[in-house]
Amino acid sequence: MAKVGFVGLGIMGAPMASNLQKGGHQLFLHDRNPVPDALVTAGGKVCRSGEEVARESEIVIVMVPDTPHVEAVLFSDDGVAKGLGANKIVVDMSSISPIATKEFARRINALGSQYLDAPVSGGEVGAKAASLTIMVGGPQAVFDKVKPLFELMGKNITLVGGNGDGQTTKVANQIIVALNIQAVSEALLFASKAGADPVKVRQALMGGFAASRILEVHGERMIKRTFDPGFRIELHQKDLNLALQGAKALGVSLPHTSSAQELMNACAANGMSQLDHSALCRAIELLSRHEIASS
């Protein structure tokens, strides 16, 4: 049994922490909001700060929304870094800037601790089912130590390379997901506007080369109009912004990533930033003055 700290217990973090508890590990918990009762009832200890979490734990996992949040969790006056020492491990499972990640790793290493960036894909469903895809950057030896914890939270676990490479992989993942959501949105809207039943169109496409998890899961959301968030538009906006910032720094063009970001911007401008990212279809529907579910 390991002593594991967990900072960030939101939509993703809470079920991930629960799966670690089910695996028999002792958890030390901190969040800006009240820690979920279920985690405390299962034996988790509530800590007042990231510093306290780090002092109590051997491995500290961070799961918060964005780069500034990770920086604050790690390096604020009562942050995780203040409680670190030799041979402790920090694992950031948030989705943040690869460039900032390399700097955070350097600063944590300077304190005698090790660092992994390990962003995830799979959303709330994957977090609850312990079926997340986990993309890891960092030293092999540190990855090997933490892998048993990863296996309690996910299924497809890959050490991609050094620090920052996990975050780079997550940005690539988010590009692919966004463009697939855009493609499914356009296809189902086209079919619906042409008079075909989008339910049957989706069913037919699921048996062909166009089949995908996005068509399966988010295509159904678009048809049924179920946009309660598994992964919010505002978070995907953040990830695509990381992609476009990286593209500028690397001198490459990502034209379709830009268009997907503009569609998400349009959703946010119309009050939909808190909806699931499958609601990107609403921007295309507004442009077309037609809803996918309409007859």
Residue type, 24: G
Q: Which of 88, 128, 170, 238 is catalytic?
A: 170
Residue type, 86: A
The upper half-sphere exposure of residue 25, i.e. CA atoms within 13 Å in the direction of its Cβ, equals 27
What is the C-alpha to C-alpha distance for residues 95 and 92, in angstroms, rounded to an integer?
8
What is the C-alpha to C-alpha distance for residues 218 and 212, in angstroms, rounded to an integer?
10
What Å distances lie between residue 200 and 163, 181, 194, 265, 288, CA to CA? 45, 18, 13, 30, 21
What Å distances lie between residue 228 and 121, 155, 272, CA to CA? 18, 25, 11
**Does the active-site annotation cover 170?**
yes
**Contact between residue 63 and residue 149 where contact means Cβ atoms under 8 Å apart:** no
- What are the phi and psi torsion angles at 153 (to 5°)? -115, -20
How is residue 170 annotated by DSSP? Answer: H
Q: Which long-range contacts (CB under 8 A, 24 or more apart) does 280-289 make?
A: 280/178, 280/181, 280/182, 280/185, 280/233, 281/181, 281/184, 281/185, 281/188, 281/189, 281/222, 282/227, 284/182, 284/185, 284/186, 284/189, 285/189, 288/189, 288/193
Given the structure tokens 């063009």, which residue do they identify? Answer: 253
How is residue 277 annotated by DSSP? Answer: G
- Catalytic sites, residue numbers: 170
